[in-house]
Amino acid sequence: MSRIVYINGEYMPEDEAKVSIFDRGFVMGDAVYEVTCVLDGKLTDFEGHVARLGRSLKELGIVCDITRDEWLEIHRKLIELNGLTLGGVYLQVSRGNAGDRDFHFPPAGTPPTVVLYTQEQPHMLDGPKVEKGVKVISVPDLRWHRRDIKTVQLLYASMVKMQAEAAGKDDAWFVEDGFVTEGSSNNCYIVKGNTIITRPLSNDILHGITRASLMRICAERQIKIEERLFTVEEAQQADEAFYTSASSFVMPIVEVDGVALSGGKPGPVAKHLREVYIEEARKAAI
């Protein structure tokens, strides 16, 4: 079934939506994106995603005058047109069609290219990864140093996912200066006793919207979160580990560089946080 997608103000079948070969997103990776989860046909953590989109656009000086209410309307219309109940909405804004390849930004007033589409994820709530947990390998963090901006420059993230899969694992953790930064497309955490440890926010990592919601949920329940750096070795000795993202909620990690955690099975803290996060996300979805 062909999806109905949104492109620059219009809704149309996906195979009719076209972007110029000179688009800055295509030629220069000059674009930002968001992925908002859809549960029961509703958007979760929407305000956080729109706020971060605004920040990413501002940091790169991409001008896009679509308002929060208009974003909401586009998301909702796509969900409805495509009958989406479980999955996500992908949104991308590039600096637009520059008319040629050029390192210089196109002139002010060049309209951005705005694309949104739905993605079904029928196994978001269950599936083998949730049941068994995921295995990760560590890799050097070779990305640029503005990881707080959600750009479409995802080549290295894509390469390390392939590397992990080639090694028979599920995902990769980036390591810089001896410390874990984040996962290839998620924020990561270790659990020691009743304390959850995660890297503090900076330009070194994406400021995850799921992370922010989980921290709020933990604070409301007096679950202790310590924001500090940790190493792969510390993770290997931890009681549990997990990661968060809009497309995976809270995902238990059961192995780091060949060392099993929590007996090689999803740990109780990760399982509990996953349940609580999904429950809260459902309640707050719009």
Cα(225)–Cα(173) distance, integer angstroms:
20
**What is the closest distance, in whole angstroms, from the C-beta atom of residue 104 to ligand PDD in the complex?**
28
**What is the closest distance, in whole angstroms, from the C-beta atom of residue 100 to ligand PDD in the complex?**
29
Q: Are 81 and 11 in contact (CB under 8 A)?
A: yes
H-helix or E-strand containing 76?
A: helix 68-82
The first and second tokens of residue 278, run together, are 């999904």
Q: Which of 77, 135, 150, 161 is catalytic?
A: 150
Which one, 206 or 256, has the nearer CB to ligand PDD?
A: 206
Which one, 205 or 254, has the nearer CB to ligand PDD?
A: 205
**What is the closest distance, in whole angstroms, from the C-beta atom of residue 4 to ligand PDD in the complex?**
21
H-helix or E-strand containing 240?
A: strand 240-245
Q: What burial class does residue 69 get, using C-beta atoms within 10 Å of its C-beta: 0-12 exposed, 13-18 middle, 19+ buried?
A: exposed
**What is the closest distance, in whole angstroms, from the C-beta atom of residue 78 to ligand PDD in the complex?**
17
Residues that bind ligand PDD (CB under 6 A): 35, 182, 185-187, 206, 208-211, 244-247
77 in active site: no
The first and second tokens of residue 56, run together, are 């990413």
Which one, 245 or 262, has the nearer CB to ligand PDD?
A: 245
**What is the closest distance, in whole angstroms, from the C-beta atom of residue 243 to ligand PDD in the complex?**
8
C-alpha distances out from residue 128 to 98, 135, 193, 252, 265, Å: 44, 12, 26, 11, 12
Which one, 57 or 98, has the nearer CB to ligand PDD?
A: 57
Which one, 118 or 210, has the nearer CB to ligand PDD?
A: 210
96 in the Ramachandran plot: left (φ > 0), alpha (ψ -120 to 50) or beta? left
Cα(210)–Cα(86) distance, integer angstroms:
17
The full length of the chain comes to: 286
Active site members: 150
